[in-house]
Amino acid sequence: MNYFIYDNWQAKDRKGAIIHKWNCGHCHMGYGKLGSAKKGENGVWIGPFDEIQFARNYFQMKFNSSPIECSCIK
C-alpha cells in the first residue's frame, strides 16, 4: 500500500498536513478529490511512501510535530 502526505498551506488551523492512504477519497493516488488537482495551488501531495511508518517519520522530520492521519488509516 502507498501513503501520501497532503500539505495544505492554505489551511488556517495548520492541520494542513495529513497522511492519507492511496485509495482514500481525498487522495486518489496523490491527485486529490477531483483526480486532477492543480499542483501547488493550495498545497502539494508528497509521496508515495511504501509503508505508513516511512510517511510518519517523514512527517515528523518535515513538520516537527506528531503525524496527523486521515480517518482512512486504521
Cα–Cα distance, 34 to 56 (Å, whole number): 25
**Total-model pTM:** 0.81
Buried b (16+ CB within 10 A) or exposed e, 7-39: beeeeeeeebbbbbbbebeebbebebeeeebee
Q: 72: buried, middle or exposed (CB in 10 Å: 19+, 13-18, 0-12)?
A: middle
Q: Where are the domains of the chain?
A: 10-63
pLDDT at residue 40 above 70?
no
Decide if 26 contacts 7 (C-beta within 8 A): no
Q: Which residue has the higher pLDDT, 23 or 74?
A: 23
